[in-house]
DNA sequence: GCTATAATTCGATGTGTGGCGAAATATAGG
DNA sequence: CCTATATTTCGCCACACATCGAATTATAGC
């Protein structure tokens, strides 16, 4: 029951759902999720902690970066069922697909290009240092 | 997305889950759910409203009583998937089985017997008029 | 119509949660 | 060792939410 409640509560927030869906085909580090969600590092960190406590993601630390990814299936049937529910229901969501597109840009662009795009998209400078550092993907 | 969030938030509360599970094999009116959860009528009413808004239950008014029940399947795939997840994960939960047993008593006992049992179980009088009125099952 | 009862709505209250910035921690690279 | 960077932890604030009691609405029975 507690396990189920942890999962349900973790899934009851739009930004956590977006983060979870973004992990479908790849692992991501916190700074990439920050760029995708446009949230402060502390906020993203807390969200990922909630997801991890619920068993919905795993994390690995490599160098300075912490990578989050979906857990191995078959670990926990409750988690597996929950993830099936989430992906089955939201994969085709417009917002999620848009995230996937933007994520593609975040992963491929150089920091300078990313900076310009953020400025153009939002009409203002990027948040607290988002994407200004040479990301882990290079 | 909004639909999914409504469902996830509705499922992120233990008392709402217990109410939902209790509706598996039967419809129940608010006063019966009150007796099962030991919560004030206003609280139960609000919980059931949340579940209904999410599409997880339907309601029918008959006389003075409002009966809640699970919605017809095939109405909404998102809801159907969510209910499968809930029942698949929680049906065997100890707490839920205990609820089912107590519900059996609530539905079968006369108000006087129910009163005595509540007093014995909790070492105190029942809450705001719980089960002291001739319920709809008689 | 009047009373009793089932349920909902309303108002108040304490608790939980999402968000931020600042400080702390960990690590890579000079 | 010192600096820069990635992440987490901490303290704070605003807002959402679970809960209650009281007031309100709807209905059944006299």
Taking each helix axis from N to C terminus, what angle separates A2-10 and B14-22, rounded to the nearest 10 degrees?
110
Query: What is the CA A84 to C1' C26 distance in angstroms?
Result: 35
* pLDDT tens digits, one per residue of B70-116: 998 767 888 999 999 999 999 999 999 999 999 888 777 654 454 44
Whether the predicted pLDDT of A122 surpasses 90? no
CB pairs under 8 A between A and B: 51
* Residue B114: CA count within 13 A, CB half-sphere: 23
Element (H, E) at B133: none
| A130 domain-assigned | no
* pLDDT tens digits, one per residue of A53-92: 999 999 999 999 999 999 987 678 889 999 999 999 999 9
Domain of A49: which CATH number? 1.10.10.10
Mean pLDDT of the A21-43 span: 95
Residues in chain B: 138
Strand C and chain B: which residues 49-78 have CB closer than 7 Å?
Answer: 49, 59, 64-67
Query: What is the CA A31 to C1' D7 distance in angstroms?
Result: 9
Q: How many domains does chain B have?
A: 1
Residue A94 belongs to domain spanning: 2-71+81-122
| B102 domain-assigned | yes
| A132 domain-assigned | no
CB of A34 closer than 8 Å to CB of A44: yes
| A129 domain-assigned | no
At CA B119, angle to CA B114 and CA B124, rounded to 5? 145
Whether the predicted pLDDT of A12 surpasses 90? yes
* Secondary structure class of B130 (helix, strand, coil): coil
Nucleotides of C under 7 A from a protein CB: 5-11, 17-23, 26-28
Query: What is the CA A4 to C1' C6 distance in angstroms?
Result: 33
pLDDT at res. A75? 78
Where do the DSSP E strands lie in B6-125?
A: 28-29, 58-62, 65-69
């Amino acid at each position: 029951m507690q396990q189920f409640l942890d999962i349900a509560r973790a899934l009851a927030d739009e930004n956590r759902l977006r983060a979870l869906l973004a992990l479908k085909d790849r692992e991501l580090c916190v700074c990439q999720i920050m760029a995708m969600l446009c949230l402060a590092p502390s906020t993203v960190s807390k969200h990922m902690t909630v997801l991890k406590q619920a068993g919905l993601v795993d994390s690995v630390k490599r160098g300075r970066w912490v990578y989050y990814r979906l857990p191995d299936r078959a670990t926990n049937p409750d988690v597996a069922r929950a993830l099936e529910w989430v992906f089955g229901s939201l994969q085709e969501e417009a917002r999620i697909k848009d995230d996937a597109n933007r994520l593609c840009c975040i992963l491929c662009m150089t920091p300078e290009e990313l900076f310009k795009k953020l400025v153009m998209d939002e009409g203002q400078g990027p948040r607290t240092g988002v994407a200004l550092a040479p990301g882990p993907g290079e």
